Amino acid sequence: MADFERCRKILGIKHDAGPEEIKQAYRDLVKIWHPDRFAGDIRLQQKAHEQLKNIISAYRTLTEDNAGHYQAGGEPDNARSTMQTVEHRRISRRFSIIRRTAICLFILACFGFFLASVRNDVAEIPYNLGTAYLESGHCGEALKALRIASFINPDSAKIYYAMGNTYYQSTLYAEAEKAYAQVIRINPDHEGAQRRLALLCTRRGAHGNSGIR
C-alpha cells in the first residue's frame, strides 16, 4: 500500500482516482517533463529523464493488476515508445554533430591541400617582383616583395636565399645570416647559402661583429 501511495503522490492524484484520471495525470506529467523541452540545459534534461522514469514507473504500478496486465489501455507501451523516441533523438543529434564536424574537417583538409598546391605558383609573383627590384638595386622594395613571398610559401629555399642576398647587398649582415640559415634549414645542401654563411662568419670574426650590425 505504501508503494501505491507513493505512486499516487508522484502522479498527483487522489486515493480514489479512476483509470481515466490516472491516465490523464500521467499524460500531463509526460508533457511537462519531456526531456526535449530542456534540450538547451543538460542538467535539467538529465533531471527530466529521471522524473520521466519515476512517472512511468508510478503509472505502471497503479495500472498493473496482479497478473501483470494493464488496466488503462496499454499506456505504458506508449511510455516505452516515448523513452525510445527520446533516446533515438539524442543519438541522432550526436551523430548529426559528428557528421557535421567530419564534413567541416574534410572541407578544411581539402582547402589546405588546395592552398598547398597553389601557394608555389602564387608566391612566384612577389618573388619575381622582388628579384627584379634586387637586380635594379631597389633593395627596400625587393625586401617588401620577398617578405610577402615568404609569408605565402615559408618552405621555399630560393625565396629566403633572395632575401639573404638582399640583406647582404643592403649591408644588413645579421639579417642576411638569419636568412641564409633558414635556407640551410630548408635545404641543407644549398651551396650558395653555405658559401655566404661562411663568408659572413669570416667577416664577423675579422671585424668583431662591428660590421654585422
Q: What is the pLDDT of residue 212?
A: 40
Q: Average of pLDDT values for 75-102?
A: 69
| 65 pLDDT above the threshold of 70 | no
How many C-beta atoms lie closer than 10 Å to residue 111's C-beta?
Answer: 10
Question: Considering only 8-12, 40-44, 75-79, 112-116, which range has the smallest mean pLDDT?
Answer: 75-79
CA distance 19 to 41: 34
For the chain, the average pLDDT equals 81
Residue 156 has a CB neighbour count (10 Å cut-off) of: 20
Question: Across residues 15-36, what is the average pLDDT?
Answer: 88
Q: Where in the chain is the domain with CATH 1.25.40.10?
A: 118-207
pLDDT mean over 138-144: 92
Whether the pLDDT of residue 10 is over 60: the answer is yes
CATH 1.10.287.110 location in the chain: 2-73
CA gap 70, 62 in Å, rounded: 9
The CATH homologous superfamily of the domain defined by 2-73: DnaJ domain (1.10.287.110)
Rg (CA), the chain: 38
Task: Please tell me the predicted confidence (pLDDT) of residue 144.
Answer: 93
| CA distances, 76 to each of 35, 69, 72, 153 (Å) | 17, 11, 9, 66
- Cα 12 from Cα 211, distance rounded (Å): 92
The whole-angstrom distance between residue 75's C-alpha and the CA centroid of its chain comes to 44
Task: Round to whole Å and give the CA distance between 98 and 89.
Answer: 14
Q: The C-alpha cell of 187 is what?
A: 635545404
Q: Please give the pLDDT value at position 77.
A: 54
> Using CA atoms, how far apart are residues 94 and 17, in angstroms rounded to an integer?
41
Average pLDDT over residues 136-158: 91
Fold for the domain defined by 118-207: 1.25.40
Task: Give the pLDDT of residue 204.
Answer: 74
pLDDT of residue 112: 65
